[in-house]
Structure 1
Amino acid sequence: MQIVSGPQRRETVHYEAPPAAEMPVQMQKFLDWFNASQENSLVKAVLSHIWFETIHPMDDGNGRVGRNIVDLCLARDAGEASRLVRISQRLLEHREVYHHELGRAQHGGLDVTPWMIWFVRQVRMAWEAASAVVDTSLEKARFWVAHTGMPLNARQRNAINALLDQGPGGFEGGMSTRKY
């Protein structure tokens, strides 16, 4: 299994997975470690992700599964069935840099410290984005609590919700009758 890009006959091989014959043994080692590991959840998430991506057991979908493994590690630690913070979404939104950093980690030696530092930064940024979403939702809820009795029709409510969703400065040039 290879990850390649470029025109036919001039492809660039970005990564070559272990031979298919080794896949069951490699996956069993990974799963044994994953299920037994007592690592800090963030460390486990980072290491699990790169290990799974390096094994690359499937022809397609490895990235999705690898990103979900990260979310699973963090959700297990927090005792949650789902998470407000989706690291997988952050990685997907910045996939070019993600692929570059993953490739650097896979082609280096066994020291994955730079990968871990980069990954932890992505986790922090995902937490900050989630915090902003929560803050915006709370502001919107506070507004509607403060204006509960205000007589508004459905169009007016929709317009106010659109303004609240955009936040300060969200409508370029402000709200106008045309935009309303």
Structure 2
Amino acid sequence: MGHFAAQHWENPYDSGIPRADRRSGEFRTFTPSVLTGMHLAIGPEVDAQVAAAERAVRALNRGAHRDLGLVSRFLLRSEAIASSYIEGIAPSPRNVALAELALDEDVRGLSETAQQVARNMTIVRDASDAMAENDTVTVNDLVALQSSLIPDPPELRGVRTTQNWIGGSRYHPLDAAHVPPPPEEVPALLQDLVQYMSGAVHSPIIQAALAHAQFETIHPFPDGNGRVGRAVIHTVLTRRGLTAEAILPVSLVLATRQQEYIDGLDSFRVEGPADSPQHSAAIESWVLTFSNAVRVAAEQATELETRLVTLRAEWQAMISDARQREGKVRATRRDSALWTILDSLPGTPVLTTTTVTRMHGVTTTAAQSALAQLTEYGVLETISIGRAQRAYVSLDVLDLITRSERAMASRAFDTAISPPMRAVPAPRRM
């Protein structure tokens, strides 16, 4: 059962840090109840909210074009930025897309921040997909994800062997907001967590809510817990078939509702048996917070999908009008390089000739011709990425990503009503 345990902290510092941080004293760790076999008693009101959230996600999946799946991975950019940006400077979607391109091609002048965010996006996406497809989730899966996100220093990789804490002083846990379980309890708790993630005893949203809260409560790694904890959400929802085509931006909504998120996690951390009324009330409070975030995330994803559909219609009109002005009455073949590029453009808003030939298996000549046409028609613009090198960019797609990210950073989810509350790229000046 969940319980607090009294611990003693002996100050190891004689000098070199502020005197106020050289303290010894008592503190309490919290060890949560195990999830496997947990019996929940969710009341009808919370149950109705969970059902509403699940309907919203399933409706999104039924109506969504694959564009949302293509572009939604860029929403992971914000999650990578949360732990990667330097001095509050968030790299723009354009620079991160260029950094993604640089994973396979030579692109000059990119910041280390943009490259790190791009790497983290790829790591989290690939690891979440792999865990979602495996028969079971293992502790090694979580460790491998954390280790890939934290390449250096080595002592920060893997399951922690020392006590950590959240909030307060960096030198002692005496004033911490939350002190996770002692390190010797972590392996068994992690094993229980992955066993729970591999099952299906609860509905997908409840399972994702409990798995995420449990992970953050255990805080099993020296670093990278936030990024892995967000991947846990994606993994559970994808394993259960709730978000097969797109990444649902649940954690971005939770980040915007930060105080509700913190309060929800605090309510989850309650003493007593898992079947006690206090424990059930604590679970209900957190599940309500999480399910509301899921519903809002589905609404925001639906808005993004609607804008993508509109954008495609605008592209087709631009191409049709341009061809009419050229006196070309025959439509371009749907299997041509031009339409092949256009079909996947939301997912690859920054392209080179090399990218197109590699991705779509067309000749260099066909790729060059199609990119030149799309630039002439106004669908793409060119930018320099090095000496005698240029890339083709869809500013329309990048603008949509920026606008969506800014909206999800607003407390009202509308920047016309309230400004973004965290570092997000500025909109492009028209």
TM tier, smaller: 0.7 to 0.9
Distance 1:9 1:20 in 2: 16
Which structure carries more relative contact order (alpha carbon 8 Å, separation 6+)? 2
Displacement of 1:7 in angstroms is 8.4
Preserved CA contact (<8 Å) 1:105 1:115: yes
Corresponding residue number in structure 2 for 1:138:
309
1:120 aligns with 2:283: no
- Alignment partner for residue 78 of structure 1, among 217, 221, 241? 241
Preserved CA contact (<8 Å) 2:197 2:236: no
Distance 1:52 1:153, change over 3 A: closer
1:110 aligns with 2:279: yes
Preserved CA contact (<8 Å) 1:14 1:103: no
Distance 1:101 1:154, change over 3 A: farther
Distance 1:9 1:156 in 2: 58
Corresponding residue number in structure 1 for 2:320:
149
Where do residues 158-173 of structure 1 align in structure 2 (5 Å cutoff)?
A: 162=396, 165=400
2:167 match: secondary structure: strand
Distance 2:377 2:168 in 1: 49
Displacement of 1:38 in angstroms is 3.0
- Alignment partner for residue 227 of structure 2, among 64, 87, 99? 64
Distance 1:136 1:2, change over 3 A: same
Q: Deviations over 1:96-135 (max 9, x none)?
A: 4422321232257423101100110000111111111100
Q: Deviations over 1:30-49 (max 9, x none)?
A: 22222234321111101111
Give identity over the alignment, percent: 24
- Alignment partner for residue 191 of structure 2, among 24, 28, 34? 28
CA RMSD of aligned residues (A): 3.4
Q: Deviations over 1:10-60 (max 9, x none)?
A: 963110111111111111222222223432111110111111111111122
Taking structure 1 as the reference length, the TM-score comes to 0.75
What is the letter of the counterpart of residue 203 of structure 2? N
Q: Deviations over 1:136-167 (max 9, x none)?
A: 000111122233232397595569x65x847x
2:279 match: secondary structure: coil
Unaligned runs of 5+ in 1: 171-178
Distance 1:93 1:9, change over 3 A: same
Query: Quick check: which one's helix share is greater?
Result: 1
Distance 2:287 2:212 in 1: 10
Distance 1:142 1:155 in 2: 14
Preserved CA contact (<8 Å) 2:208 2:232: yes
Preserved CA contact (<8 Å) 1:45 1:73: yes
Distance 1:132 1:31, change over 3 A: same
Preserved CA contact (<8 Å) 2:219 2:225: yes
Preserved CA contact (<8 Å) 1:85 1:127: yes
1:3 match: secondary structure: coil
Preserved CA contact (<8 Å) 2:212 2:233: yes
Distance 2:298 2:242 in 1: 17
